[in-house]
Amino acid sequence: MTDLTVDINPLEVSQSSSGGLGINLVKELFRKRAAVVGAVMLGILVFIALFAPLISPYDPTEVLLSTEGVQPRESPCIHILGCDSEQPQHILGIDGNGRDVLSRIFYGARVSLTAGVAAVTFAVLVGVVVGLIAGFFGGWIDNVLMRLMDVLLAFPSLLLAIFIVTVFGRGLTNAVLAITVVTIPGYARVVRSSVLTVRESDFVKADRVLGVSTFRLLTRRILPNSLTPLVVQATLGIASAVLEIAALSFLGLGVQPPQAEWGSMLASERNQVFTAPHLVFFPGIAIMWNVLAFNLLGDGLRDAMDPRLNR
Amino acid sequence: MGRFIARRLLSAVPVLLGILLLVFSIARLIPGDPCLLALGERATEELCDAYNERFGLDEPIVTQLGIYLGDVAQGDLGDSLRFSKPVTTLLKERLPTTVELTLAALFIAVLIGIPLGVMSAYRHNSKLDVVTMVFANTGVSMPVFWLGLMLQYLFAVVLQDTPLFLPPSGRLKAGMIPEPFYEKWGLPEIGIFEFISNMEILNGMLTLNWEVFWSATSHMILPALALATIPMAIIARMTRSSLLDVLGLDYVRTARAKGLKENVVILRHALRNALLPVITVIGLSLGALLGGAILTETIFNLSGVGKTLFDAIEARDYPVVQGFTLFIAFVFVLVNLLVDVLYTYLDPRVRVS
């Protein structure tokens, strides 16, 4: 008989499996270049948001026209790039109301990050409950809930968000609420479909036979096994939430002046794009930076969690 | 196949009813008195009473809903409070611009997105692949309103005195009033002809008026480009990953083993199967396009469906808000239905399962 045994180094096996899911995931994530770039970009943004009061040269709402004698919409003045050292330094220039753009962008990071993360957190919470209930109980409950989600999905999300904000009133909180509502169906669907698969697996059936309560079954068995696609979807979801909140602010429905927010900074200077393009350029770059960070990280997570996609 | 389509159509009915109900309630929930907004300072109590009676706003909500459902079933979306004309007429006037815009954007997105994805998959892990994917990732992360403004600046200011200059806003050159094709051809003035003649690019072609055609086209390039970027990036990424999946399959290896040229293997054999998920993505991106049209039309000052709808929300023009939203949602559901059917037609495996 031919020898079919394979040499396995027991040390190697124990090493590779010792890390646990979390550690392996992080290792895998670090092997993806794009994910590392995303994480670094996000890190910088979080740093700026956390330390905005320390690193901002000015108060974001302070009008500098009388104190510093600057003109509205003045071009950037950077000393090391040859700007007269007599003049106060404004790296990204002055906006139409005579405020320092760099400081406003730094403070805007706080709004953009918290709003995006908050919207997705709420949406995930509701979506998970809806998806769990629909997927686990099936039947008419599933039908009603999912048709409801279909109705929400039948609108372009920005349009529905505009509607909701118009009904409940302008402002950041309602903008976040609107984005929450329009993104719930996505999470509900993801959770539901993984619940459907997990529900039929043997360990869940075994638990049922053993008389484990439905609540415990849902929270301890089914939910943890449905998390992978949810985490990916949520990370990518933050990216689109950031974009849509910025869009709402751009339309004048989100953050209200004088609070610094990238979308509304863009909106208030959009008519000056031909004369002072820098006032439109930088807030847009900031939005893109934030969205790109989450997109890269989300893609990296998806690849890292799905070994089939390893290439 | 027939049964599948019928089942799919039936399942859309409750969704459509839900949409109707949701749109109706949201339109009523928007705070603000339409009478005050329409009449402004002239609004007295008597005038407002008469106004509310005329537009049926004094009836109980349930009655209003009943009347509304009956009207919609007959294709009557009510009259705009602001423009004093039927919503359907307004839709007929404003929709052509949006149709042109979304089709142009979709065209650009597919025309550039698919080849980019194919090249990227073909030269997998090469510099080209990296550059394309960086481009695609940046593309999906770009706010469409920012891109629109930047394109305006680039093409209307920076390139002002070059042949690359493009007009930053509007639909046609100021003062240009093109002759509708049906007048030129001596056709009767019916709805569908009016609709077609409002598509300025098409109308320019039909009347052989190349000045109108170029003016309409040049005004459409920048908004379409801005609107196309996100779907283009999504399509490129989807094409790439789907093609990479297919390229690993046995039948592709067989095709290569037969000695077929690599481009025949990719374009004739692999791409056909790889495009299936791309079709879904294209269908889904229509929603993003319609949402993006609100922003794009606002920036480029195009009076299409998106801008009209946004203005109507601001002005509490209920019938327009209801009618336009309903229309957009119906189109969206219809497109998803079409994508599903097309998918079953193209991929027999879906039919069997």
Q: Is B140 helix (H, G, I), strand (E, B) or coil?
A: helix
Please list every residue in chain A whose beta carbon sits closer than 8 Å to the beta carbon of residue B147.
Answer: 284
Residue B126, domain member (yes or no): yes
CB of B337 less than 8 A from some CB of A: no
* Chain B residue with Cα closest to A35: B137
Q: Name the residue in chain B with its Cα closest to that of A274.
A: B153
CA dihedral A252, A254, A255, A258 (to 10 degrees): 20
User: Which pLDDT score is estimated for A20?
Assistant: 64
**How far is C-alpha A58 from the chain's CA centre?**
28
Residue B52: give the domain boundaries: 17-73
Reported confidence tier of residue A11, pLDDT bands at 50, 70, 90: very low
- Whether the upstream peptide bond of residue B115 has omega within 30° of 0, thus cis, is no
Closest chain A residue to the Cα of B156, Cα to Cα: A274
B65 and B105 inside one domain? no
DSSP string, B296-315: HHHHTT--SHHHHHHHHHHT
With CA atoms as reference, report the closest residue to B309 among A115, A145, A163: A163
Smallest CA–CA distance, residue A8 to chain B, in Å, is 29
B295/A247 Cβ within 8 A: yes
- The region of weakest confidence among A87-96, A113-122, B142-151, B211-220 is A87-96
**B325 to A159: CB separation less than 8 angstroms, yes or no:** yes
**Same domain? B33 vs B162:** no
pLDDT confidence of residue A44? 97
Domains of chain A, with CATH numbers? 31-309 (1.10.3720.10)
Contact of B343 with chain A, judged by CB distance below 8 Å, is answered with no
Task: Give the residue-averaged pLDDT of A78-83.
Answer: 83
User: A162 at the B interface (CB within 8 A)?
Assistant: yes
Task: State the pLDDT at residue B349.
Answer: 72
B299 CB neighbours in chain A (<8 A) are: 270
Give one DSSP letter per residue of A131-165, joined into a string.
HHHHHHH-HHHHHHHHHHHHHHHTS-HHHHHHHHH
With tokens 């108060």, the residue in question is A59
User: Has residue B259 been placed in a domain?
Assistant: yes
Query: Radius of gyration over alpha carbons of chain A, in Å?
Result: 25
Q: By the CB < 8 Å criterion, does B18 face chain A? A: yes
Q: What is the pLDDT of residues B147-202, one digit of tens each?
A: 999 999 999 999 988 898 998 888 888 888 888 889 888 888 888 888 888 899 99
Residue A246: what pLDDT?
Answer: 94
The answer to whether residue B194 is domain-embedded is: no
> Which site among A149, A158, A289, A311 would you substitute to test the B interface, given the most B Cβ atoms closer than 10 Å to its Cβ?
A158
**Contact status of A281 with chain B (Cβ, < 8 Å):** yes
* Nearest Cβ partner for B290 among A156, A166, A287: A156
φ, ψ at A90 (rounded to 5°): -130, 100
Burial of B201-210, coded b for 16+ CB within 10 Å and e otherwise, reads: bbbbbbbebe
Contacts of B310 in chain A (CB under 8 A): 162, 251
The residue-averaged pLDDT of A66-82 equals 82
DSSP 8-state secondary structure symbol assigned to residue A1: -
Helix axes of B210-247 and B271-299: crossing angle, nearest 10 degrees: 140
Distance between CA atoms of B194 and B93, rounded to whole angstroms?
8
Q: Give the pLDDT score at B99.
A: 92
Does the distance separating the beta carbons of B149 and A270 come in below 8 Å?
yes
Spatial distance between the Cα atoms of B311 and B299, rounded to a whole number of angstroms = 13
CB A138 within 8 A of CB A78: no
In a domain, B59, yes or no: yes
Within this chain, do residues B244 and B308 fall inside the same structural domain, yes or no? yes
Question: Does residue B219 fall inside a structural domain?
Answer: no
Residue among A294, B214, A56, B59 nearest A64 (CA): A56
Q: Provide CB contacts within 8 A for B255, sequence distance 6+.
A: B264, B265, B269, B270
B335 lies in the same domain as B261: yes
- A287 contacts in B (CB within 8 Å)? 143, 146
Q: Is the pLDDT of residue A17 over 80?
A: no
Would B157 be classed as within a structural domain? Answer: yes
Q: What is the pLDDT of residues B303-350, one digit of tens each?
A: 999 999 888 888 878 788 888 988 888 888 888 888 888 877 877 776
Using the Cβ of B334 and the Cβ atoms of chain A, whether some distance falls under 8 Å is answered with no
In a domain, B36, yes or no: yes
Across the A:B interface, residue pairs with CB atoms under 8 Å apart total 126
**B104 and B170 together in one domain:** yes
Of A280, A291, A311, the CB nearest to B244: A311
Strand (E) or helix (H) holding B21: helix B2-29
pLDDT of residue A289: 96
The residues pairing with B86 across neighbouring beta strands, listed in sequence order, are B79
**A159 close to B (CB below 8 A):** yes
Whether residue B27 is found in the same domain as residue B164: no
SS3 for A94?
Answer: strand
In the prediction, which pLDDT does B350 show?
66
What's the CA gap between B184 and B206, in Å, rounded?
9
pLDDT of residue B149: 94
Task: Say whether both B69 and B103 belong to one domain.
Answer: no
Q: Which residues of A touch B287 (CB under 8 A)?
A: 155-157
Residue of chain B whose alpha carbon sits nearest to that of A147? B15
Q: B137 contacts in A (CB within 8 Å)?
A: 34, 292, 295-296, 299
B24 and B172 inside one domain = no
Answer yes or no: do A284 and B313 touch at CB < 8 A: no
- Is the same domain home to B248 and B287? yes
From A132's Cα to the closest Cα of chain B, the distance in A is 21
Share of chain A above pLDDT 70, in %: 91
What pLDDT does A15 receive? 45
Looking at A3-7, A83-87, A181-185, B8-12, which range is the least confident one? A3-7
- Our CA-based measurement puts residue B266 at a distance from the nearest CA of chain A, in whole angstroms, of 19
In chain A, residues with a C-beta closer than 8 Å to the C-beta of B124 are 311
Closest alpha carbon to B129 in B241, B293, B284, B294 = B241
Read off the pTM: 0.86
Mean of the per-residue pLDDT values for chain A?
86
Q: Which residues pair with A90 in a beta bridge?
A: A77
Of B261, B202, B7, B229, residue with least CA distance to B106? B229
B173 or A49, which is more confident? Answer: A49
Asked if A291 is an interface residue toward chain B (Cβ–Cβ < 8 A), one would say: yes
| A38 pLDDT tier (thresholds 50, 70, 90) | very high
Q: Which residue has the tokens 């079409």?
A: B338
Domain contains B329: yes
Task: List the single residue in B141, B157, B299 with the smallest CB-CB distance to A292.
Answer: B141
Same-domain status, B172 and B41: no
Query: CB distance from B154 to chain A under 8 Å?
Result: no
- Cα–Cα distance between B57 and B301 in angstroms, integer? 32
Q: Which residue of B has its CA nearest to A270?
A: B149
Q: Which segments in chain B show pLDDT lower than 70?
A: 350-353
Residues B115 and B147 in one domain: yes
- Residue B288 forms contact with A (CB below 8 Å): yes
CB contact under 8 A, A163 and B26: yes
Q: Are B172 and B237 members of one domain? A: yes
Q: Which residue of B has its CA nearest to A164?
A: B26
- Phi first, then psi: what are they for A2, rounded to 5°? -75, 145
User: Do A251 and B298 lie within an 8 Å CB cutoff?
Assistant: yes
> With contact defined as beta carbons under 8 Å apart, do A147 and B15 qualify?
yes
Cβ atoms A95, A75 nearer than 8 A: no
How many folded domains does chain B comprise? 2
